[in-house]
Amino acid sequence: MQATPANASGLRVDEKLERMKLFGLSSPALLLVLVILVIPVGWLFYVSFLGGNGQFSLENYQRMVERSSYMRIFRTTFEVSLVTTGLCILIGYPLAYFLSQIPPRIANLCMITVLLPFWTSLLVRTYAWLVLLQKQGLINEWAMALGLWDEPIKMVHNMTGTLIGMVHIMLPFLILPVYGSMKAVDRDYVKAAANLGASPRRAFWDVFFPLTMPGLFAGTLMVFILCLGFFVTPAVLGGGKVIMVSMKIVSNIELFVSWGAASALGVVLLALTFAILWVASRFLKLDQIAGGGH
Amino acid sequence: MRSQDSDALPISIRGVTKTYGAVHALDDVSLEVKSGEFITLLGPSGSGKTTLLMVIAGFTRPDCGSLKFGEREVIRTPPHLRDLGMTFQSYALFPHMSVAGNVAYPLKLRKLQKAEIAERVEKALETVQLGGYGDRRITQLSGGQKQRVALARSIVFEPRILLMDEPLSALDKKLRDQMQIELRHLHEKLGMTTVYVTHDQREALTMSDRIAVVNKGRIMQLASPRELYERPANRFVADFIGDSTFLPVERSGEQVSYGGMPLKFVQAPPDTPTLALMVRPERIVLSSEGPREGANNFAATAVEVVYQGDSYLLHARLDDGTLIALRGGVRGASLSALPNVGDKVTLTLAPEDTVLIDGSEA
Quote the CA–CA distance of A290 and B147 in Å, as a whole number.
21
On whether residue B4 sits in a domain, the answer given is: no
Q: Which range has the worst mean pLDDT, B91-100, B105-114, B182-191?
A: B182-191
Chain segment B207-239, per-residue pLDDT in tens: 999 999 999 999 999 999 999 999 999 899 998
Residue that finishes a domain, picked among B187, B217, B235: B235
- pLDDT band per the 50, 70, 90 thresholds, residue B170: confident
CA dihedral A58, A64, A65, A66 (to 10 degrees): 100
Please tell me if residue A269 touches chain B, with a CB cutoff of 8 Å.
no
On whether residue B2 sits in a domain, the answer given is: no
Q: Which residues in chain B are closer than 8 Å to A189, comparing Cβ atoms?
A: 92, 94
Q: Which range has the worst mean pLDDT, A134-138, B196-200, B300-304?
A: A134-138
- Check whether residue B122 and residue B23 sit in a common domain: yes
Give ipTM to 2 decimals.
0.83
Task: Tell me which amino acid residue B348 is.
Answer: T
On whether residue B1 sits in a domain, the answer given is: no
A261 to chain B, minimum CA–CA distance in Å? 48
Judged on CB neighbours under 10 Å (0-12, 13-18, 19+), A259 is: middle
Quote the CA–CA distance of A216 and B17 in Å, as a whole number.
41
- Check whether residue B209 and residue B333 sit in a common domain: no
- Check whether residue B39 and residue B174 sit in a common domain: yes
- Check whether residue B169 and residue B190 sit in a common domain: yes
Q: Point out the residue among B80, B88, B95 whose CB comes nearest to the CB of A197.
A: B80
Phi, psi for A229 (deg, rounded to 5): -105, 15
Task: Name the residue among A290, A285, A184 with its Cα closest to residue B101.
Answer: A290
Please tell me if residue B169 touches chain A, with a CB cutoff of 8 Å.
no
What is the Cα gyration radius of chain B? 25
- Check whether residue B248 and residue B231 sit in a common domain: no
Task: Name the residue among A198, A267, A196, A199 with its Cα closest to residue A229.
Answer: A267
- Check whether residue B317 and residue B173 sit in a common domain: no
Per-residue pLDDT at A293: 40
Paired strand residues for B347: B286, B298
Are the CB atoms for B216 and B47 separated by under 8 Å?
Answer: yes
Q: Which residues in chain A are closer than 8 Å to B80, comparing Cβ atoms?
A: 194-200, 202-203
Kindly determine whether residue B137 and residue A290, on different chains, have CB atoms separated by under 8 Å. Answer: no
Kindly determine whether residue B80 and residue A195, on different chains, have CB atoms separated by under 8 Å. Answer: yes
Task: Name the residue among A56, A164, A176 with its Cα closest to residue A115.
Answer: A176
Please tell me if residue A293 touches chain B, with a CB cutoff of 8 Å.
yes
pTM: 0.82
Chain segment B280-307, per-residue pLDDT in tens: 999 999 887 888 888 999 999 999 999 8
- pLDDT band per the 50, 70, 90 thresholds, residue A292: very low
Can you give the three-state secondary structure of chain B, one letter per residue? CCCCCCCCCCEEEEEEEEEECCEEEEEEEEEEECCCCEEEEECCCCCCHHHHHHHHHCCCCCCEEEEEECCEECCCCCHHHCCCEEECCCCCCCCCCEHHHHHHHHHHHCCCCHHHHHHHHHHHHHHCCCCCCCCCEHHHCCHHHHHHHHHHHHHCCCCCEEEEECCCCCCCHHHHHHHHHHHHHHHHHHCCEEEEEECCHHHHHHHCCEEEEEECCEEEEEECHHHHHHCCCCHHHHHHCCCCEEEEEEEECCEEEECCEECCCCCCCCCCCCEEEEECCCCCEEECCCCCCCCEEEEEEEEEEEECCCCEEEEEEECCCCEEEEEECCCHHHHCCCCCCCCEEEEEECHHHCEEEECCCC
Chain segment B78-88, per-residue pLDDT in tens: 999 999 999 99
Task: Tell me which amino acid residue B167 is.
Answer: P
Quote the CA–CA distance of B361 and B236 in Å, as a whole number.
7
Chain segment A72-95, per-residue pLDDT in tens: 999 999 999 999 999 999 999 999
Q: Which residues in chain A are closer than 8 Å to B94, comparing Cβ atoms?
A: 189, 192-193, 207, 211
Q: Where are the domains of chain A?
A: 1-48, 68-290
| Domain harbouring B33, CATH code | 3.40.50.300
- pLDDT band per the 50, 70, 90 thresholds, residue B1: very low
Kindly determine whether residue A197 and residue B109, on different chains, have CB atoms separated by under 8 Å. Answer: yes
Please tell me if residue B342 touches chain A, with a CB cutoff of 8 Å.
no
Quote the CA–CA distance of B329 and B318 in Å, as a whole number.
21
Q: How many domains does chain B have?
A: 2
A192 to chain B, minimum CA–CA distance in Å? 6
- Check whether residue B70 and residue B197 sit in a common domain: yes
Residue that finishes a domain, picked among B212, B235, B258: B235
- Check whether residue B224 and residue B249 sit in a common domain: no
Please tell me if residue B153 touches chain A, with a CB cutoff of 8 Å.
yes
Instruction: Find the mean pLDDT for residues B96-104.
Output: 95
On whether residue B3 sits in a domain, the answer given is: no
Handedness of CA A196, A197, A201, A206 (dihedral sign): negative
Phi, psi for A216 (deg, rounded to 5): -65, -40
Kindly determine whether residue A189 and residue B106, on different chains, have CB atoms separated by under 8 Å. Answer: no
Mean pLDDT, all residues of chain B = 90
On whether residue B310 sits in a domain, the answer given is: yes
Q: For A190, which residue in chain B has the nearest alpha carbon?
A: B92
Please tell me if residue B140 touches chain A, with a CB cutoff of 8 Å.
no
Quote the CA–CA distance of B59 and B166 in Å, as a whole number.
16
Sorted by sequence, the CB contacts under 8 Å of residue B238 that are 6+ apart come out as: B232, B244, B246, B278, B357
On whether residue B138 sits in a domain, the answer given is: yes
Q: Which residues in chain A are closer than 8 Å to B21, comparing Cβ atoms?
A: none
- Check whether residue B247 and residue B179 sit in a common domain: no
Quote the CA–CA distance of B170 and B245 in Å, as a whole number.
31
Please tell me if residue A154 touches chain B, with a CB cutoff of 8 Å.
no
Sorted by sequence, the CB contacts under 8 Å of residue B19 that are 6+ apart come out as: B25, B63
- Check whether residue B170 and residue B59 sit in a common domain: yes
Are the CB atoms for B345 and B286 separated by under 8 Å?
Answer: yes
Q: Which residues in chain B are closer than 8 Å to A287, comparing Cβ atoms?
A: none
- Check whether residue B107 and residue B127 sit in a common domain: yes
Domain hosting B248: range is 243-358
Are the CB atoms for B233 and B222 separated by under 8 Å?
Answer: no
Kindly determine whether residue B92 and residue A188, on different chains, have CB atoms separated by under 8 Å. Answer: yes
What is the Cα gyration radius of chain A? 25
Quote the CA–CA distance of A76 and A64 in Å, as a whole number.
15
Q: For B153, which residue in chain A has the nearest alpha carbon?
A: A196
Chain segment A165-200, per-residue pLDDT in tens: 999 999 999 999 999 999 999 999 999 999 999 999
- Check whether residue B164 and residue B61 sit in a common domain: yes
Instruction: Find the mean pLDDT for residues A105-116.
Output: 89
Per-residue pLDDT at B2: 41
Judged on CB neighbours under 10 Å (0-12, 13-18, 19+), A118 is: middle
On whether residue B196 sits in a domain, the answer given is: yes
Q: For A195, which residue in chain B has the nearest alpha carbon?
A: B80
A200 to chain B, minimum CA–CA distance in Å? 8
Q: Which residues in chain A are closer than 8 Å to B84, comparing Cβ atoms?
A: 195
Phi, psi for A252 (deg, rounded to 5): -60, -35
Please tell me if residue A192 touches chain B, with a CB cutoff of 8 Å.
yes
Q: Point out the residue among A198, A290, A294 whose CB comes nearest to the CB of B109.
A: A198
Kindly determine whether residue B94 and residue A294, on different chains, have CB atoms separated by under 8 Å. Answer: no
CATH dotted code for A68-290:
1.10.3720.10
On whether residue B6 sits in a domain, the answer given is: no
Instruction: Find the mean pLDDT for residues B253-272.
Output: 87
Q: Which residues in chain A are closer than 8 Å to B92, comparing Cβ atoms?
A: 186, 188-189, 191-192
